[in-house]
C-alpha cells in the first residue's frame, strides 16, 4: 500500500461516531483510500479496545484491525458542550457515520430530518442499526449473532441434520460495513449532480437478509425450507470438501465441461458419461454417490499436490488452510494482503486501484490521541480547548 500517492477519496472528511465492527470496518475502507476520518469516541472509548486477548499496549487486536488511517477524538455527546464540538466538526464534513440506538441522535437534538439535514445540506448521514427505526422490531438492539439467527443464517449453516450454528465470521457486521461503504459512495456520487446530501438508513437485518443467497430465492420458487448441507452447495455438485491422503481439499465444478475435466485429471473419465452424473441436476441428486466415487481416487493422493494440479488445469480447487497457513501463503504476500509496519501486522485492502491505490498512512490511534490537534484544525483556540477538557466534553484519556 503506497502512502506516497493520494487515495481515490482524498479531500473527503468523514466523521465516524460508530463503534464495534460494521461502522469502523466501513470507515476503514474509506480511510484506506484517502478519506480523512475522525473517529469520535465516547468517554469509555470504542469497546473493542477491550475485546482481547491479544493486546498491543492496551488495545485489542480486534480494535487494531478496524481502525488504521484514522485519528481519535474523545467526546462526550451526552452534554451540550460535546454536541457543540460535533456540530463544529460537521461544518466541513462530507459524511457522518453512526450506530447509536435509533432515537439517540434525535434526543440529543442531532436528528437528520430536524437538524443536521437543514444545517448541513450537503451532509451524507449514514446510520447503522440492528433493525431500523420502525416496524415490529424497530429500535430493538441487534448484534451480529442475533441477526444471523433471525435472518436464517444459523438454519443453513453446519452439518446436515446438525443443530443451527453461528457462522465463524462476523459477516453480518462486515457485510453491513461493505454495504454502507457502497451506499456512501453512491450518495456522494449523486451529490455531484444534486448538490444535496441525504440520510442512509442501513440495518444489519436488511443486509443479512439480502446476503441469504441462494437460500431465500430457492425457497421462494420451490416452497422447500433449506437446511444445512455441510460444506456441500445446495445447487451445485461437485462443490464440497473431499478427503485426500493428507490435507482435505475443496473442489468446485459448476458445469459439465469442468466436471469432465476433473474426471480426466483424477483418472476416471468414465464418470463424466455415467447417467447418474451427466448433468448438474443429476450430480446434485446423486451427490453422495459422486462424493464416494471421487474420494475413492483422491484418498490415494497428496492434497496440496492435487489441489495445485487441478488449479493448473483450470479447475476451481484448493487445499483447506488454517489461519497461519493463509497468512504465510506466498499468494497472500504477493497480493499485498498482509501489512507490516513496526508492530502492526494486519490484513491489507482487497480493493486494488491502479492510479490511486489504498495506503497505510497511519497506525490505529490511541484513545483521544489527536484531540487537541483536531480541535485546533476546527478553529478552537487553546483557552477553548482547555475549557472543553476541564468540562469533560473533550477527553484525552478513557473514562473508567
Residues identified as active-site: 173
**DSSP string covering 77-129:** TTSHHHHHHHHHHHTS-SEEEE-PPTTHHHHTT--IIIIIHHH-TT-EEEEEE
**DSSP string covering 305-333:** HHHHHHHHTT-EEEE---HHHHHH-HHHH
Round to whole Å and give the CA distance between 106 and 97: 15
Q: CA–CA distance from 246 to each of 299, 303, 305, 306, 328 (Å)?
A: 8, 5, 10, 10, 19
Round to whole Å and give the CA distance between 385 and 366: 19
**DSSP string covering 153-202:** TGGGSSSTTPPP---SS-HHHHHHHHHHHHHHHHHHHHHHHH----EEEE
Asked whether the beta carbons of 14 and 35 are under 8 A apart, the reply is yes
Asked whether the beta carbons of 37 and 66 are under 8 A apart, the reply is no
Burial bucket for residue 64 (CB in 10 Å: 0-12, 13-18, 19+): buried
Q: Which DSSP letter does residue 137 get?
A: T
Choose among 357, 363, 364: nearest CA to 6: 357
What are the beta bridge partners of residue 37? 14, 70
Choose among 319, 324, 297: nearest CA to 309: 319
Q: How many residues does the chain have?
A: 400
Amino acid at each position: 500500500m503506497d502512502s506516497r500517492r493520494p487515495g481515490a477519496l482524498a479531500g473527503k472528511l468523514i466523521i465516524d461516531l460508530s463503534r464495534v465492527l460494521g461502522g469502523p470496518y466501513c470507515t476503514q475502507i474509506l480511510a484506506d483510500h484517502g478519506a480523512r476520518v475522525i473517529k469520535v469516541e465516547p468517554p469509555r472509548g470504542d469497546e473493542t479496545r477491550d475485546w482481547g486477548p491479544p493486546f498491543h499496549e492496551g488495545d485489542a487486536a480486534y480494535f487494531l484491525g478496524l481502525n488504521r488511517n484514522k485519528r481519535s477524538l474523545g467526546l462526550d455527546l451526552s452534554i451540550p458542550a460535546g454536541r457543540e464540538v460535533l456540530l463544529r466538526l460537521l461544518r466541513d464534513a462530507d459524511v457522518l457515520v453512526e450506530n447509536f440506538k435509533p432515537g439517540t441522535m434525535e434526543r440529543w437534538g442531532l436528528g437528520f430530518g430536524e437538524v443536521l439535514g437543514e444545517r448541513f445540506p450537503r451532509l451524507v448521514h449514514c446510520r447503522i442499526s440492528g433493525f431500523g427505526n420502525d416496524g415490529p422490531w424497530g429500535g430493538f438492539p441487534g448484534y451480529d449473532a442475533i441477526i444471523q439467527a433471525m435472518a436464517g443464517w444459523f438454519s443453513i449453516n453446519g452439518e446436515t441434520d446438525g443443530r443451527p450454528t453461528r457462522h465463524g465470521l462476523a459477516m453480518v457486521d462486515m457485510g453491513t460495513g461493505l454495504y454502507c461503504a457502497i451506499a456512501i459512495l453512491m450518495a456522494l456520487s449523486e451529490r455531484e449532480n444534486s448538490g444535496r446530501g441525504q440520510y442512509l438508513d442501513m440495518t444489519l437485518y436488511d443486509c443479512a437478509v439480502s446476503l441469504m443467497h441462494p437460500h431465500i430465492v430457492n425457497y421462494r420458487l420451490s416452497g422447500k425450507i433449506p437446511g444445512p448441507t455441510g460444506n456441500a452447495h445446495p445447487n451445485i455438485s461437485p462443490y464440497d470438501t473431499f478427503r485426500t491422503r493428507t490435507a482435505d481439499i475443496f473442489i468446485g465444478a459448476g458445469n459439465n465441461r469442468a466436471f469432465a475435466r476433473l474426471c480426466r485429471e483424477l483418472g476416471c473419465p468414465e464418470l463424466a458419461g455415467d447417467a447418474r452424473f451427466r448433468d448438474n441436476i443429476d450430480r446434485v441428486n446423486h451427490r453422495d454417490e459422486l462424493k464416494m466415487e471421487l474420494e475413492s481416487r483422491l484418498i490415494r493422493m497428496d492434497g496440496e499436490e492435487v489441489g495445485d494440479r487441478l488449479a493448473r488445469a483450470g479447475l476451481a480447487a484448493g487445499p483447506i488452510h488454517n489461519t497461519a497457513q493463509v497468512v504465510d501463503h506466498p499468494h497472500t504476500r504477493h497480493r499485498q494482503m498482509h501489512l507490516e509496519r513496526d508492530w502492526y501486522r494486519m490484513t491489507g485492502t482487497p480493493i486494488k486501484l491502479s492510479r490511486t491505490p489504498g495506503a497505510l498512512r497511519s497506525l490505529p490511534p490511541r484513545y483521544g490521541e489527536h484531540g487537541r490537534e483536531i480541535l485546533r484544525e476546527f478553529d478552537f483556540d487553546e483557552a477553548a480547548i482547555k475549557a472543553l477538557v476541564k468540562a469533560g466534553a473533550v477527553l484525552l484519556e478513557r473514562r473508567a
